[in-house]
């Protein structure tokens, strides 16, 4: 059984790798394409390199980084058979699901 910290670390690394990849949410990628993009990004940049690319994107373009990370977290979790680690929304919706079924503003 995996610890919660290990699971969080793996899900974070997967989301960072998908964020750093060239895969776009507009292409409606399959779970296999998401897993392939994650693997390719980790091979190309390493886990720390993917995290660095995320940080760079948030610094340079925070308005596009936020929805991309929401998508990356949700898609990476779905492709690995888990649930998203936190609130997630489709890119461009500007709202996230809160516990209890309420929508965030």
Which pLDDT tens digit goes with each residue over 17-32? 999 999 999 999 999 9
| In a domain? residue 21 | yes
Question: pTM surpassing 0.85?
Answer: no
DSSP letters for 24-47: -GGG---HHHHHHHHHHHHHHHHH
Name the token pair of 77: 């979790």
| In a domain? residue 73 | yes
| In a domain? residue 63 | yes
pLDDT band, very low/low/confident/very high, at 2 (cuts 50, 70, 90): low
3-7, 50-54, 96-100 — most confident range: 50-54
CA atoms within 13 A on the CB side of 60: 6
| In a domain? residue 9 | yes
Rg (CA), the chain: 13
| In a domain? residue 28 | yes
pLDDT of residue 14: 97
Q: How many domains does the chain have?
A: 1
| In a domain? residue 94 | no
pLDDT of residue 95: 41
Q: Which position has the token pair 């492709």? A: 79
Write out the residue range of the structural domain in which residue 36 sits: 4-79
Q: Is the pLDDT of residue 52 over 70?
A: yes
């Amino acid at each position: 059984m995996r610890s919660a910290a290990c699971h969080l670390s793996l899900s974070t690394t997967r989301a960072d790798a998908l964020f750093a990849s060239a895969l776009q949410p507009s292409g409606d990628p399959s779970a296999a394409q998401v897993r392939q993009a994650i693997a390719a990004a980790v091979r190309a940049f390493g886990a720390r390199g993917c995290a660095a690319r995320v940080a760079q994107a948030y610094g340079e373009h925070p308005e596009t980084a936020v929805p991309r990370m929401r998508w990356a977290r949700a898609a990476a979790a779905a492709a690995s058979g888990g649930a998203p680690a936190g609130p997630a929304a489709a890119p461009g919706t500007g709202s996230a699901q809160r516990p209890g079924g309420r929508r965030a503003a």
